[in-house]
Amino acid sequence: MKESIFFDEHLDLDYPGMEAVKQAVIQKDYETAKKEFAKYIRSFLKPDLFFQIPYEEPENIFRYPQESDKEACERIIHERTMISVGVPCHFDKNKPIDWHANPTENQYKEWTWQLNRHNEIKMMAHEFRHNHDPEYAKTAIDLIHSWIKQAICPGDVSGRETKSWRTIECGIRMGANWPYILFSFFESEYFTDQFLYEWYGSVWEHGNRLVNHSTRGNWLIMEMNGLAHIGILYPQFKQSKLWLETAFYRLTEELKKQFYPDGFQYELTTCYHEVAINNYQRLIETARAFAVPVPVEILAVLEKAYEIHIKLMMPDGKLPDINDGKNDDSRLLSIPKQRIIKTNSDLNWLIDGRKTETEPLYLSLALPYSGYFIMRNSWQPNATWALFDGAPFGRSHQHEDKLSLLIYANNRLLITEGGNYAYDDSEMRKYVLSTRAHNTIRVDGGDQNRRENYQWHDHEISKKANLKWNIGTNFDYAESYYNEAYQGVTDDSVIHQRNVYFVKKASDEIAPFFIVVDRISAQKNHVYQLLWHIDSEVIGYDNSRVETKDMNVLLVADDLSVQIICGQTEPEWQGYIATGTAQGMYRPVPCISAQTTGNSKMIVSILSPNKPNVCKASWAEADDDLITIHFSNNSKLCLSEEEMKSDK
């Protein structure tokens, strides 16, 4: 950026304390203006205010496994080896690093994008605050300087384009990483007057790009968080006040557009729900530290959104990785939220260690707008838990998984699914997005196919999901249906209805278990394939029963053919789960494939966890309403769907 443009057009020379800068600019003495500007900024910045905000560890996989922050910093300083999405790349220490590099074999774009977020430079700043080693400051500032020189801000280019200046990266740099870097290093001898001028010039370019090329969804929240941070921390720009007002307005409006009335963010993924609320969190903490008022509407919506982590939580305290989600620790995610919302009893219960006497008043619950039904029989770590998906397709990051079911029992997620995998074009990525990676039904080998013609409309945020439920003393019940497209299937009359029953209290000799009733109807004959991904060793199976180490699965239907698929790649991928979001992080898992042919079919699945000192489910029979389950102690249960639906 030309000096004349920066000083004459972008700086508010009438801002208090800028008198000497203004005088130098009037005289067109830009070298003096730089010196006076740097002198003023160093006196203006208030690190004591900024560092009231607790440190937030950066995202991305930028360390080797078991590598400490200090070791990672030393690696960068002495070797110039940078790691992004878990993949290392060595650069010549005597040359600037290539910010557009991509060392991945399949040119995985996230490598470059994540590198340009400067997470590891924030890490270096954090270490520098502990050790005050000048090499940390020198290296970090050299890296930023090389980035400013090489990664030129584009002109009128979409916010989703470029390798270094996508608006998501701009928002993350401004709203998460650069503020910490600035306040850590601005007093260093390496943070020269010239570099400070270049830094502020780049910050203005970030603000201009964010306000003019913002996008939608969780990106917009990150973008506006970054823009608001510029407005708060860099008030010397002419546009700063307008940028802050714009950011607050858009962020307030996005709460209405992106959060269902039940609190879940409209992408319906635990990962991006947290991304959204965490960006609000970042802004609120910075605003409070610098005495900037926050719109009151934001706090009201955020409290309900914070509670989603508790409502969805599995007994081990982790979140289910539904859609492009993550198995994050709900307590660790919630600790920062307590700084914003101090009086929420459920949030305090979670953070304080889940003590029995203060646990939430509910067990099972429905999210009627986002469409999930969560079943649990206690809040203890040994509880039985399930999540039923009656959700709409959501805004983005969706999987084709309507009516899928997850079950946690015996201290693990037993009925699991493909999970979330790296955002590449691999077969594993295609698999986790597909119906075949989930626990529902395929038709004629085709997956659910809402994605092809789907468009989100803002009014959908206030529309309830097609979910029915009842929470009773002995039984919980949930029901939903899928009547949209299947890939390759031209018969649009296919309807899949699923009823899920949680049998919480049968007898002392029978552990809690689940009954799933699938009713599929169509005008023509089709091949229906029911899938159950079960993370347990298979002991034996036939066409009506699958026995595993941790669960028995009983199947009732006419002409059912059952097989176990595990780690298959041909003719299609099946029987895998992701173990992380980096490339290559997945493993085989047994998948029960139960297949039948017809136009209208009913398939009953009994999913019965095996627990010590209780009898096992052995076999089952069913008619249109009555389901009879026989157990290993020669007892049986006769259960009516209508009675389970109406349990009090």
pLDDT in tens, 457-468: 999 999 999 999
- Angle of helix 134-150 relative to helix 178-185, nearest 10 degrees? 130
pLDDT at residue 541 tops 90: yes
Vertex 222: Cα angle to 217 and 228 (nearest 5)? 125
- Mean pLDDT within 134-138: 98
Is the pLDDT at 103 greater than 90? The verdict is yes
Closest CA relative to residue 545, chosen from 605, 590, 491: 605
- Model confidence, pTM: 0.94
pLDDT of residue 125: 98
pLDDT at 172: 98
Confidence of residue 390 (pLDDT cuts 50, 70, 90): very high
% of residues, the chain, pLDDT over 90: 93
Q: What is the pLDDT of residues 169-220, one digit of tens each?
A: 999 999 999 999 999 999 999 999 999 999 999 999 999 999 999 999 999 9
Indicate whether 260 pLDDT > 90.
yes
Asked whether the predicted pLDDT for residue 54 surpasses 90, the reply is yes
- Give the mean pLDDT of 247-261: 97
Structure token pair of residue 564:
């176990």
Give the pLDDT confidence score for residue 330 in this predicted structure: 96
> Residues, the chain, total?
648
Q: Closest Cα to residue 118, out of 177, 62, 54, 168?
A: 177
Taking 90 as the threshold, does the pLDDT of residue 538 lie above it? yes
- Average model confidence (pLDDT) across the chain: 96
Q: Is the pLDDT of residue 304 over 90?
A: yes
- What DSSP line would sit under 147-184, residue for residue? HHHHSPPPSS--TT-SSS--HHHHHHIIIIIHHHHHHH
Token look-up 């994050």 returns 328
Tell me which architecture the domain covering 362-612 has in CATH: Distorted Sandwich (2.70)
Per-residue pLDDT band at 508 (split at 50, 70, 90): confident
Judge contact between 477 and 469, C-beta under 8 A: yes
d(CA 521, CA 441): 12
* Residue whose C-alpha is closest to residue 516's, from 571, 548, 544, 553: 553
CA dist., res. 471 & res. 485, Å (int): 31
Given a cut of 90, whether residue 288 has pLDDT beyond it is yes
Nearest CA to 515 among 637, 613, 397, 635? 637
- What is the spatial distance between Cα 246 and Cα 227, in angstroms, rounded to a whole number? 8
Residues 267-285, mean pLDDT to the nearest whole number: 96
10 Å Cβ neighbour count for 57?
9
- Of residues 396 and 33, the one with the higher pLDDT is 33
Q: Does residue 8 have a pLDDT over 90?
A: yes
Are residues 539 and 550 in contact, defined by beta-carbon separation less than 8 angstroms? Answer: no
- Per the CB < 8 A criterion, the answer to whether 561 and 601 are in contact is no
How far apart, in Å, are the Cα atoms of 218 and each of 169, 205, 290, 391, 485? Answer: 12, 21, 25, 19, 27
Output the CA–CA distances (angstroms, integers) from residue 628 to 518, 546, 547, in the order listed: 16, 17, 18
The arrangement of secondary structure in 56-230, i.e. its CATH architecture, is: Alpha/alpha barrel (1.50)
User: Among 274-278, 380-384, 470-474, 615-619, whose mean pLDDT is lowest?
Assistant: 615-619
Q: How far apart are CA 386 and CA 514, in angstroms?
A: 9
* Cα-Cα-Cα-Cα dihedral sign, residues 188, 193, 197, 200: positive
Tell whether the model's pLDDT for residue 613 goes beyond 90. no
Pairing status of strand 576-578 against strand 561-565: unpaired
